[in-house]
Amino acid sequence: MKRNIFYGIVFLFFVQFAHSQSLPEVTLDHEWKGKIHSLAPEKPTFPTKKKKQILVFSLHTGFNHWVIPHTEEMIKIIGEKSGAFTVTGSKDISEFESKNLKKYDAIILNNTCSRPDHRNLFWDKLRADSNADSVTLMKKAQELESNLLNYVKKGGGLMLLHGAVTTQNNSWAFSRLVGASFDYHPPQQSFQVYLEDADHPLVSAFPAGGFSHIDEPYFYKNAYAEQNFKPLLYFNNAEIKNQRKGQELTEGKTYVAWIRAEGKGKVMYASPSHNAQSFENPQLLKFFLDGMQYVAGDVICDETPLKN
């Protein structure tokens, strides 16, 4: 307990004095893994009838977030330490064949950024690995995307972390599944993350006033305007520095995390975090574990969207 408090104080102290700058990369070594393991929850928040199977998918074809391996390791640690999950890591797009998706209770997309030209992760990988004609490759890419959409509609879970929102960024079907597409982000900076509803069970990890955080504050487009999701976390637009010129938002809020039901399945998006240092906040680790339980079907909670 004392160690958890110490790490929390150090993290918050660092947040208060870091402004508009990137955090240095952290070595993914035994010491760091041990630190995250010590901070991870001892048990799941919500009752679960059986250990669930999770795939954490970490392929990127576009921007390479340095935190990708740390995020995968963090998911494995919190899932397995809690006893609630068995976590498998992969970068193989064959996991999105229908027969393979059936092996998992939920899929976690870990910073699966696609290239800017097509904004289609499946197309990018197929094009890189094959000399087949473009029509054939695009048809296969669309099939894999459709497999994922159908997997969720039939009861599978989907969690997307940080840059994963760009996976199929030009696809309206994917945008509606997730609740948004990526638009842009200002430089990394310190900002306050607030709770949309402090009584919602999926934000029970945090104090009512929210928490300080260093990250890229993401702004969204496409299905985000429909707001067909239940928001969990947000930032105040007026508090974000260096927004895109001509598009500055000086009032209102932008959501940092949300959930939504899709058919029989569950979806959660959470933009934290670009930085492995964020995972040294035990509150955030509990939030991710609770989110994993939500998408895996262990949590009954309010999913009422902002707009129907």
Extents of the domains making up the chain: 2-295
Are 86 and 53 in contact by the 8 Å Cβ rule? The answer is yes
38 three-class SS? helix
Cα separation, 169 vs 278, in Å, equals 25
pLDDT recorded at residue 17: 38
Alpha-carbon gap, residue 130 to 136, rounded angstroms: 10
* Alpha helix (H) residue ranges in 18-55: 30-39
**Residue in 89, 85, 84 with CA at minimum distance from that of residue 71:** 89
Give residue 3's pLDDT. Answer: 47
Q: Could you tell me which residues come within 8 angstroms of residue 229 by beta carbon, excluding any fewer than 6 positions away? A: 179, 255, 258, 259, 260, 267, 269, 305, 306
**Cα–Cα distance measured from residue 296 to residue 75, given in angstroms and rounded to the nearest whole number:** 14
Assign a CATH topology to domain 2-295: Rossmann fold (3.40.50)
Please name which of 88, 146, 89 lies closest in space to residue 122, comparing C-alpha atoms: 146
Q: In the chain, where does DSSP find H-type helix?
A: 2-17, 30-39, 68-81, 98-101, 121-129, 134-153, 172-178, 282-295
* Predicted pLDDT of residue 39: 97
In this prediction, the residues of the chain whose per-residue pLDDT falls under 70 are 1-21, 308
Alpha carbon distance 273, 214 (integer Å)? 8
pTM: 0.91
Contact between 39 and 74 (Cβ < 8 Å): no
**Ramachandran region, residue 20 (left: φ > 0; alpha: ψ -120 to 50; beta: rest):** left
